[in-house]
Chain A
């Protein structure tokens, strides 16, 4: 797991949209002709991505919100890797 991405700013790629769906009672990621249902932790992280906060800042914010969650840093770093490998987000 790399910490080199800590100062990078994640941005949701154009054409992808995060949205809460009441009927499915969860957040989904929408993209051309497709949709992925997100679990609770993925949607918490996604909601932090605003195009200005860095990965490091997102970790701090989520640590504050979920002080009792163990291993939150690794979870967030792993998420960022998967999400950028899937081309859902860009790390700038």
Chain B
């Protein structure tokens, strides 16, 4: 373990403040989504931070400028101290977001959170189609309960974001998804094609939509946007495509350690929720201050600036635009986290992306072939 005194800060590189703090309160979750972004070895993680430890994290991060705080997981509702954490965060001046599957939510808790000062609730759905939704979530009651809870969230006056993770098995229902969201009076609708990290990577062949599916979904979303604007409807539709169909990668997380700070259930600090899989040592809030972690730790400085880039990024004139793409994707698909994100057509590994596109067109796996996220599968896949 590094002593608190050592600094890996890069001279000449000034990181922005950690405006966004994500508190992954727990990896416990009653659902088993096959695209879950939690680490594959989630069943073997360390003890969760206590209430007091979390509040201290909030206080320190707020001092560094964090203003948005997301409570997520796993399923954050599993934490019995959630209302207390919300109140502490709100008193510190955070805008507080609860990101939930809705399972475990009740009218009483919605009211309790409002009392504590919760600003906003996001509910995630797996599809507008009850059958697909229940199959994907591994629970029969899930869907009806979510709808009831979405209505209760609005009845309590919260702004509501509905998040639909789309993939090849539900993206063709996009019109129904949008209609459902409007019926529930969502303020924001995120239609996000699942990103292929964690459990989704394992299931990529069964999840990646074809280019034709994506183009159709995007076209329909555009039509609805125009319609909403014409009706002066405040609902905003946000469509997120997977970068597998791009020729240039995205500037992942707006830059490594530049905006986003994720604290996992056991206190490990990450620059992105999927970074834990990287062969990089990340600091823990039980051992270091947030200030040290953000400014000086090895992990948070590892991919700041551009001195770590090999070719083709090193001499590329676009490197300040996309920062070489996503480190996790580079690691998963090329074996080296420093490499160019293989989404980039200049990458020597771009072939793996082309192959995945072709596979999506030719030989998709059915729903029954997906590897569901649960304790048993976690233990089988990740031998300690």
Known A14-B159, A17-B95, A19-B93; judge A32-B122 contact (CB<8 A). yes
Smallest Cβ-Cβ distance to B160: which chain A residue: A32
Is B127 located at the chain interface by the 8 A CB criterion? no
The stretch of A20-28, A38-46, A47-55, A58-66 that contacts the partner chain: A20-28
Q: B67 and A28: CB pair below 8 A? A: yes
Q: Of the candidates B93, B97, B234, which one forms a contact with A33 in the assembled complex, judged by CB atoms under 8 Å apart?
A: B97
Considering only CB atoms, which chain B residue lies closest to A87 in the complex? Answer: B234
Is B261 an interface residue when CB atoms closer than 8 A count as contact?
no
Whether a CB of chain B sits under 8 angstroms from the CB of A15 is yes
Q: Which of A14, A24, A32, A34 contacts B157 (CB 8 A)?
A: A14
Does A5 lie at the interface of the complex (its beta carbon under 8 Å from any beta carbon of B)?
A: no
Contact of A32 among B17, B64, B159 (CB under 8 A): B159
Contact B159 A15 (CB under 8 A): yes
Question: Is there an interface contact between A32 and B187, defined as CB atoms closer than 8 Å?
Answer: yes
B13 to chain A, nearest CB (A): 18
CB-CB under 8 A from A15, the residues of chain B are 119-120, 158-159, 187
Docked Cα-Cα span, A82 to B159, in Å, equals: 20
Find out whether the CB atom of B161 lies under 8 angstroms from the CB atom of A33: yes
Assembled-state Cα–Cα distance A36/B120 (Å) = 17
- Bound state CA distance, A87 and B125, in angstroms? 25
- Given contact pairs A21-B67, A23-B65, A28-B67, A35 touches B234 in the complex (Cβ within 8 A): no
| B39 is an interface residue with CB less than 8 A from chain A | no
Report the minimal beta-carbon distance from A89 to chain B, rounded to whole angstroms: 11
CB proximity to A under 8 Å, residues B246-280:
none
Cβ–Cβ contact B159 & A33, under 8 A: no
8 Å CB contacts to A: which residues of B18-71?
19, 64-65, 67-68, 70
The 5 closest A-B pairs by CB, nearest first: A15-B159, A23-B65, A30-B95, A87-B234, A32-B120
A residues sitting closer than 8 Å to B (CB atoms) are 13-15, 17, 19, 21, 23-24, 28, 30-35, 87
Offer 29 A-B interface pairs, CB within 8 angstroms, sorted by A: A14-B159, A15-B120, A15-B159, A15-B187, A17-B119, A19-B67, A19-B95, A21-B67, A23-B65, A24-B17, A28-B67, A30-B67, A30-B68, A30-B119, A31-B95, A31-B120, A32-B97, A32-B122, A32-B159, A32-B161, A32-B187, A32-B188, A33-B68, A33-B97, A33-B120, A33-B122, A33-B161, A34-B68, A35-B67
